[in-house]
Chains A and B, each alone.
Chain A
């Protein structure tokens, strides 16, 4: 980080907290953000609302930012909304303007722990009691789903023009129509989604990427739900189905709640906060939906490599996940080898 930026950031913290002075002790760029940049900051604050050492993350657009789904200001509003209803997210602290850092940004409190899915599902020392963790996931999800439109602070989220399930069917087909290769098995599953689409009684705020790998845990349990860039108005079962889908269990297929615990534990936690039973049959629909959606995303990621825009072994291999997702989709929708 440039010296001028460091000074501006220190000044920003002093203003926001009312500290007499602020010193930026360290600033380290975290890896893995092509669209956003995340800086781990340690700030020493003398006096004010956050006196002492404050460890936090500054999230800004990357220097060469391409258009992202949500702006930093929108992401900050989502975090605030989730935080306000008691979802465990990195506490959103302050929204900053371009004049301070050269790019839009916000600051959130640092969350401790690890998010690596394949470790969380296997390591008994991570996440505490895993059944309790699954139950907690349900409670947290139900809290998020207490947020309903209309919301002035979230008016940037578009309301789906039709039932969320059918909206997805249109979007999946739209993608496949402009893709260079046909995927008959995916088409089969999308046809099934169309024929079996449920009505959505009530739109709620869904995270839409809430799965193992996208939350952090320490030795005791959940520390933060991350990656809010896909959040939007949808069916509450959209999140439940995505979390439970076989493709997000990191090989622990018998643990139907995200590879960490039982489905019963997840539902129990959810229903405790929701106050009503979940429609378990309808969850299956959204698990089929989850596999199709992940397959489409995997194709899009693979295409970034295939097109030559972004050569990457990881992206290239992601394309090769699609066949196994398709096979599971065929099984789920009743197609079997005669």
Chain B
């Protein structure tokens, strides 16, 4: 049993101290560095929060689409090869999966960018 707060919670509060208390005190030429650190902490925090469930679901959906087994990396490889060969040009199921997989990655790496795509 690990201690609480969790890693994600620690990153969240540490990020708040960085942004609200330290950032205003930094000289102008160092503020960009602090923003980059906050950004990196945010990505790590969201990855921890999300856990492995989406990756497992992604692997299961890819396996069903491609009708083969394998780890996520090799299934992705097969999907990429199929796309290049034109096998999914008109496959709406594949395209829908591609969209959802990508949204999930944006949610972790740059969630604010998703605002422009809501309602899709």
**A330 touches B (CB below 8 Å):** yes
The distance from the CB of A180 to the nearest CB of chain B, in whole angstroms, is 9
Tell me whether A184 and B39 are in contact (CB under 8 A): no
Q: Which of B1-9, B19-27, B76-84 contacts the other chain?
A: B76-84
Chain A contact-residue range equals 20 to 34
Distance of A330 Cα from B120 Cα, bound (Å): 12
Residue in A closest to B119 when the chains form the complex, CB atoms = A337
Distance of A323 Cα from B99 Cα, bound (Å): 11
Tell me whether A335 and B99 are in contact (CB under 8 A): yes
From B79, B86, B99, B114, A336 is in contact (CB under 8 Å) with B99
**A313 touches B (CB below 8 Å):** yes
Q: Which residues of A contact B100 (CB under 8 A)?
A: 337
Most buried by B among A187, A195, A321: A187
Distance of A336 Cα from B84 Cα, bound (Å): 19
SS of A interface (majority)? helix
From A185, A253, A313, A322, B36 is in contact (CB under 8 Å) with A313
Q: Which residues of A contact B33 (CB under 8 A)?
A: 313
**A317 touches B (CB below 8 Å):** yes
Tell me whether B83 and A184 are in contact (CB under 8 A): yes
Tell me whether B102 and A327 are in contact (CB under 8 A): yes
**B50 touches A (CB below 8 Å):** no
Distance of A184 Cα from B62 Cα, bound (Å): 11
**Pairs across A and B, CB under 8 Å, 7 listed:** A183-B80, A187-B84, A191-B86, A327-B114, A327-B117, A338-B95, A338-B96
Chain A residues 286 to 338 lying within 8 A of chain B, measured CB to CB, are: 313-314, 316-317, 320-324, 326-327, 330-331, 335-338
Q: Which residues of B contact A195 (CB under 8 A)?
A: 89
Q: Mark B64-91, 1 if CB is under 8 A from A, else 0.
A: 0000000001001101100110101100
**A68 touches B (CB below 8 Å):** no
Residue in A closest to B84 when the chains form the complex, CB atoms = A187
